[in-house]
Structure 1
Amino acid sequence: MSYLSQQLSSRCFPPCEVTCPQPYADACSQPCVTSCGDSRAVVYPPPVVITFPGPILSSCPQESFVGSSAPLG
């Protein structure tokens, strides 16, 4: 070991024994799809009935939880 490496290693602190708990992380995503009833319109003249399909609405709400704590020890 060289003089420089001995000098540097003497400046280092000894490793400490620290225990860290596992961080908590959880996420979920649930698709949601719903539809509305059909709409009708009457057009004059001549009378004609047109049926428009109802809209389909969809979304994907998401929730995330992340937690941490200080080291033990």
Structure 2
Amino acid sequence: MACYDICRPCGPTPLANSCNEPCALQCQDSRVIINPSPVLVTLPGPIMTSFPQSTA
């Protein structure tokens, strides 16, 4: 039985294009969907947040 892995290769990709897409492993007439675990992407630099302050 020959199985073909039709997943896209994961390599050095931009931050917006992480390798978190479901892969499909197709074996003849059957198909198995493999859902990868979530990928945590850490962006460099400070996170700018603003909180509304009301001095009433």
Task: Assess same fold via TM > 0.5.
Answer: no
In the superposition, the TM-score normalised over structure 2's length comes to: 0.26
In the superposition, the TM-score normalised over structure 1's length comes to: 0.22
Structure with the largest fraction of helix: 1
Larger relative contact order, structure 1 or 2 (CA cutoff 8 Å, min sep 6):
1
